[in-house]
Chains A and B, each alone.
Chain A
Amino acid sequence: MLIITRKLGERIMIGDDIVVTLLEIKGSQARIGIEAPRDISIHRQEIFDRIRQENLNASRIHDEDLTQAATLWHGKKPE
């Protein structure tokens, strides 16, 4: 991992077209601005991890459990 020290307002270039700016530091939090082309996706890692974990859990559902779930859905859903 490349580790770089930056002061407030200073930037980091990644390739030709990604600019990362350190905008604000407050205690243990840093606000970071990222400018990148639209086709680069930028996500908070924990969001990414949550979706991946939900996908992993969701891939193990059995047909019987789903049939029960569908019955529950019809029984408990408010109209």
Chain B
Amino acid sequence: MKIATSRFGEIDICEDKIIHMPHGMLGFPDRRTFTLFQHKPDSPFYWFQSIDNPELAFVIVNPFLFKPDYDVDVAYALKDMSWDTDMEENALELYVVVNIPKGSPENMSANLIGPILINVEACQAVQMVLTDSEYSHKHPLVVQ
């Protein structure tokens, strides 16, 4: 199917690449369907593009690339989403949302308290809220 995006024009995606977010992203509760694609070959970043809103897209990244000891308890999310707790571990993918201040990419950061958990088998995702974690919502991504 073809979807409209403000950044990339019209793009063609397979329907099995549609990711449903029953709760949406925090601040965007009405945008419930997204698709994920790599920014560029070699790039660590992915675009998490809204299918309902051409202008809405987030940059996300695998947190273990820069914080190998990142530790998130997914038990609550599994229950909340009614996902099978016995599912294959590789059905779950974890990403964090990246922020790049306009004009100063050296100050880019990742939000480690609101990770996105994707169940690739169910094609569903949820943004988790880590209430009692020691992590930062502005974890620097570039070692200065």
Residues of A within 8 A of B (CB): 38-39, 41-44, 47-48, 50-63, 65-70, 72-74, 76-78
Contacts and interface: CB of A to CB of B under 8 A. Distances in A.
B79 interface: yes
A69 B100 contact: yes
8 contacts: A41-B129, A43-B129, A50-B137, A66-B59, A67-B39, A69-B45, A70-B43, A73-B43
A44 B132 CA distance: 9
Chain B interface size, as a band, is 35 or more
A67 B44 CA distance: 11
**6 nearest A-B pairs in the assembled complex, by CB-CB distance:** A51-B114, A52-B27, A69-B105, A54-B111, A70-B43, A68-B105
Given A51-B111, A55-B25, A58-B59, A38 B142 contact: no
Contacts of A66: 39, 43, 45, 59, 100, 105
B88 interface: no
Interface string B39-71: 110111100000000001111000000100000
A44 B97 CA distance: 20
A70 B40 contact: yes
Contacts of B103: 65
B76 A59 contact: no
A54 B79 contact: no
Query: Which DSSP category, helix, strand, loop or mixed, fits chain A's interface?
Result: helix
Contact of B113 (A50, A59, A78): A50
B11 to A, nearest CB: 13
B86 interface: no
Given A47-B129, A51-B129, A76-B142, 18 more contacts: A41-B80, A42-B131, A47-B130, A47-B131, A50-B114, A51-B113, A51-B137, A53-B27, A54-B138, A61-B98, A61-B99, A61-B100, A66-B39, A66-B43, A67-B39, A69-B108, A70-B39, A72-B142
Given A59-B56, A70-B43, A52 B26 contact: yes
B43 to A, nearest CB: 4
Nearest to B106: A72
